[in-house]
């Protein structure tokens, strides 16, 4: 265990940089915050490289367990590292897990195609977890899941279900090869309301960009394009809400 009080400490500066995707990629580590997430990381056998806690937590069991990796930090540093207004004063730097290549998909999957808002990405993954989906694939142009803002809305779901990042075209090929029914989400003349579908057991649901939806190439690679009926005057739904309605709506109970 060691103590750092200055915000200008080089190690602290380095941890601060972990809010950037570039730095996460470079170091192969990311930062999580709060008791809930740090405990979940521990319980789910994540590799904890460093644990950071304010002085009032130094006798906590979790800090004792990771004694050699623990750094006690000042409240100032905790505030600087935190994404929230009232930090709990506990953080961990953990290794981005290595994903073996996936060669087969079964069950219910969500594909994120160029979803840009970190809050939306995190919320969709959390919903996929809650709804018992088998996994999530994010396209290379979707917001990186190890960013703090995604972490915050994902609430630890990265520890509960597999999340792969790959080229969307490859993901679609994999879905076909795996005989998943592929649903695109779109409003057009050939799309059908999601609630009129015959339910299937193995499928992939693709959610698109907040402003532009799915591109033509993706839509034409699907088995069926579906939409949520808009009955009022709103122009559209928030993508995370739409994903939730569809994820639950496509399941048989």
Q: What is the dihedral of CA 20, 25, 29, 32, to 10 degrees?
A: 40
Nearer to its own copies, 206 or 242 (CB): 242
Q: Shortest CA distance to 50 belongs to which of 34, 68, 37?
A: 68
Kindly tell me which residue out of 1, 131, 200, 221 binds its own copies, with binding defined by CB under 8 A: 131
Is 19 a binding residue for its own copies by CB under 8 A? The answer is no
Contact between 190 and 224 (Cβ < 8 Å): no
Is 128 a binding residue for its own copies by CB under 8 A? The answer is yes
Kindly tell me which residue out of 46, 127, 147, 209 binds its own copies, with binding defined by CB under 8 A: 127
Nearer to its own copies, 190 or 232 (CB): 232
Residue 16 class from Cβ within 10 Å (0-12 exposed, 13-18 middle, 19+ buried)?
Answer: middle
> What's phi and psi for 145, nearest 5 deg?
-75, -10
Is 97 a binding residue for its own copies by CB under 8 A? The answer is no
Chain centre to alpha carbon of residue 73:
28
* CA distances in angstroms from 63 to 31, 41, 69, listed in the order given: 16, 13, 9
**Which of the residues 140 through 199 are near its own copies (CB under 8 A)?**
153, 155-157, 159-161, 193, 195-196
Is 253 a binding residue for its own copies by CB under 8 A? The answer is yes
Is 107 a binding residue for its own copies by CB under 8 A? The answer is no
- How far is 99 from 170, CA to CA, in rounded Å? 16
# binding residues, its own copies (CB under 8 A) = 40
- Min. distance of Cβ 247 from its own copies in angstroms? 8
What residues line the site for its own copies (CB under 8 A)?
Answer: 119, 123, 126-133, 153, 155-157, 159-161, 193, 195-196, 228-238, 240-245, 248-249, 253
């Amino acid at each position: 265990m060691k103590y750092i009080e200055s915000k200008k400490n080089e190690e602290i500066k380095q941890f601060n940089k972990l809010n950037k995707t570039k730095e996460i990629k470079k170091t192969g580590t990311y930062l999580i915050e709060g008791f809930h997430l740090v405990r979940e990381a521990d319980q789910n056998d994540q590799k904890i490289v460093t644990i950071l806690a304010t002085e009032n937590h130094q006798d906590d069991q979790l800090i004792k367990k990771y004694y050699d990796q623990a750094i006690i930090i000042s409240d100032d540093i905790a505030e600087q590292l935190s994404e929230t207004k009232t930090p709990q004063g506990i953080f961990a730097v953990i290794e981005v897990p290595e994903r073996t290549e996936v060669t087969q998909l079964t069950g219910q999957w969500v594909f994120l195609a160029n979803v840009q808002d970190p809050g939306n990405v995190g919320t969709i993954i959390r919903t996929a977890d809650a709804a018992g989906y088998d996994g999530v694939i994010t396209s290379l142009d979707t917001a990186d899941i190890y960013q703090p803002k995604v972490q915050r809305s994902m609430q630890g779901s990265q520890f509960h279900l597999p999340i792969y990042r790959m080229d969307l075209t490859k993901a679609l090929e994999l879905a076909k090869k795996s005989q998943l029914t592929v649903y695109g989400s779109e409003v057009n003349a050939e799309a059908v309301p999601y609630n009129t579908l015959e339910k299937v057991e193995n499928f992939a649901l693709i959610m698109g960009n907040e402003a532009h939806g799915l591109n033509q190439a993706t839509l034409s690679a699907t088995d069926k394009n579906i939409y949520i009926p808009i009955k009022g005057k709103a122009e559209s739904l928030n993508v995370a809400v739409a994903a939730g309605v569809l994820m639950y709506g496509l399941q048989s109970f």
